[in-house]
């Protein structure tokens, strides 16, 4: 995979997590709504965006929470990724 985000954009991959209901039923990641936790795969350089200086505050490997309907989904080599702006990232998960 060779995708390099531009400006303040970040390439992320959603983390699919199985969830167990109170009654013990296991829900696979595909049975739930779009996950909001993702891992950062690549980070753009930041710089001047819309006339404002943007410093990138996230790095490759960070786990983040993103806005529910943020970004553009892309498929590369049978893998699904999303490209979002840094401003669509709500928090870094420690």
Name which residue leads in pLDDT, 26 or 30: 26
Q: What is the pTM of this model?
A: 0.80
Q: Which tops the pLDDT comparison, 36 or 13?
A: 13
User: With pLDDT > 90 as the criterion, what percentage of the chain qualifies?
Assistant: 63
Confidence of residue 30 (pLDDT cuts 50, 70, 90): low
Tell me the two tokens of residue 16.
């699919």
83 in Cβ contact with 74 (< 8 Å):
yes
Confidence of residue 56 (pLDDT cuts 50, 70, 90): very high
Q: Does domain 9-93 have CATH number 2.30.33.40?
A: yes
Give the per-residue pLDDT at 9.
Answer: 96
Please report the pLDDT score of residue 29 as a whole number.
57
b/e per residue 17-45 (b: at least 16 CB within 10 A): eeeeeeeeeeeeeeeeeeeeebebbbbbe
């Amino acid at each position: 995979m060779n995708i390099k985000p531009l400006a303040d954009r970040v390439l992320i991959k959603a983390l699919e997590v199985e969830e167990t209901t109170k009654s013990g039923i296991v829900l696979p990641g595909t049975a739930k709504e779009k996950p909001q936790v993702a891992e950062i795969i690549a980070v753009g350089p930041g710089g001047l965006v819309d006339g404002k200086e943007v410093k990138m505050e996230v790095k490759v490997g960070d786990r983040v929470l993103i806005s529910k309907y943020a970004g553009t989904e892309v498929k590369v080599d049978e893998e699904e990724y999303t490209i979002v702006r840094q401003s669509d990232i709500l928090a870094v998960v420690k």
